[in-house]
A and B are shown apart, each in its own frame.
Chain A
Amino acid sequence: MTIPNLVGAGLIVIGAGIGLGQIGGKAMEGIARNPEATSKIQTNMIIIAALLEGLAFAAIFLGK
């Protein structure tokens, strides 16, 4: 677990965190504006979250 490895992993987590936070925040705003569309917004949020997690995991595996 060398220092560059750890720094890289940290950066990946920061990227994933920012991305997921953005999605989650916008999803929350959308639900607050229009509570009836909650399930649609939730579905799309989960889909985009999974895509982002895929990127983050791919980066971790490429790093190792």
Chain B
Amino acid sequence: MIETTHMNLRKSGRNKLLGLISLFVFCSAFASGTAPKSDGDSEGHGAVTSESEISEYILHHIKDAHDFHLFSYNDAEGHRKHIGFPLPVIVYTSKGIKTFMSSEFHHDDSGHHVVEKDGVALVKYHEKIYELAQGAHGVEFDEAHHPTNAHAVLDLSITKSVFGMLFVFTLLIFWFRRLALQYRKNSIPKGFSRILEPLVIYVRDEIAKPNIGEKQYRKFIGFLMTVFFFIWTSNLLGLMPFGFNITGQIAVTFSLALFTYIITHFSAKKDYWKHIFWMPGVPIPMKIILAPIELLGTLTKPFALMVRLFANISAGHIVVMSIIAIGITLRNTMGVIGASALSFALSLFITTIELLVAFLQAYIFTMLSALFIGMAVEEHEHH
């Protein structure tokens, strides 16, 4: 009896140690996976070797791009080779929708390479596509950085982040369809679905039911599940090598917050609207004063949702890349090996924290959305 418990304890202790070691290796794979990028370059220049190039490099990596640049290396003759693939560009210009591959810009980001499409001249400047006026050969800016001889076009292209979102959609559909289909045969799923099932139950029991209430949570559970897993997967993808920066784009988080806003206000009950426009229990002049203030108050909550997710994720990306760049900035004071070791250790630590932040931000967004929906649909018993 004592022997078997001793063996069981040793086995569980060994499994815990294995789990801890594999978590460590897993996290270090993230950290070192991003490390080679610091020897990469910024679109057409050489490798980043000086401090002044670092901030431009970091910002370039945060921003969206029209092609998917995987990595660069110096080949045998010392030339810079880029490996990547172009993504389709779909713009709505003054002459209709034009579609082409972004390779036609030939990696030009300075607004000089003109692409002619049926009489419309397009250039790309800092990943924004402009339509040139007649006869111009490049975008020119005035002091306030407005383009003088071009105007921006409606850019609907498949950029890197859109491609990332499509990838996330495919992943989520695949995982959850598999999970749902497994319930037809037996009630215990197998494989990766075993990770998803407790999370799905957690979202339903701890986020949706307490906030929205037993009677009505079913209507909103689809939205909450989608938001939770989409944000979590997108955050995790942003941390991986050859990943995408999806939730670090303010347009994406704006859309998510907009969905929350629309859903809360389209399912809001009469009590909710009454509390905004005609607050019961206060004198009439106060009611009229309170109405616009309350109306603005309904906007601040989704706005905070948007900014919170965007700022957390993009600040995290910037911090990780800055710490990797310590290998360059502290090269003189600590020596190459010292600075690299410090940057590796710190980036390992920070990436572990970023993994936590990825889950936490998804949880917070989902929980606050559930809270707002719950506040909008609850039915009071009135005095």
Contact = CB atoms under 8 A, between A and B. Distances in A.
Nearest to A58: B307
B308 A61 contact: no
A14 interface: no
A47 B207 CA distance: 12
Interface in A48-64: 50-51, 53-55, 57-58, 60-61
Contacts of A47: 364, 367
A37 interface: no
Contacts of A46: 360
Interface string A18-35: 000000000000000000
Interface string B283-309: 000000000000000000000100110
A46 to B, nearest CB: 7
B315 A50 contact: no
A49 B139 CA distance: 45
Contacts of A61: 307, 310-311, 315
A58 B315 CA distance: 10
A57 B304 CA distance: 11
Interface string B309-343: 01110010000000000000000000000000000
B308 A58 contact: yes
A23 to B, nearest CB: 14
B52 to A, nearest CB: 14
B308 A54 contact: yes
A60 B367 CA distance: 24
Given A58-B304, A58-B307, A61-B307, A51 B312 contact: no
B307 A57 contact: yes
Contacts of A54: 304, 307-308, 311-312, 364
Nearest to B304: A54
A51 B360 CA distance: 11
Nearest to A62: B307
Contacts of B308: 50-51, 53-55, 57-58
B356 to A, nearest CB: 9
A57 B312 contact: yes
Nearest to B367: A47
Nearest to A52: B308
Contacts of A53: 308, 312
A9 to B, nearest CB: 12
A54 B302 CA distance: 12
A53 B316 CA distance: 12
Nearest to A57: B311
Contacts of B315: 57, 60-61
Contacts of B307: 54, 57-58, 61
Contacts of A51: 308, 364
Contacts of B312: 50, 53-54, 57
Nearest to B360: A50
Interface of A: 46-47, 50-51, 53-55, 57-58, 60-61
13 contacts: A46-B360, A47-B367, A50-B364, A53-B308, A54-B304, A54-B308, A54-B312, A54-B364, A57-B307, A57-B308, A60-B311, A60-B315, A61-B310
Q: Give 8 nearest A-B pairs by CB, closest first.
A: A54-B308, A57-B311, A58-B307, A50-B364, A61-B311, A57-B315, A58-B311, A50-B360
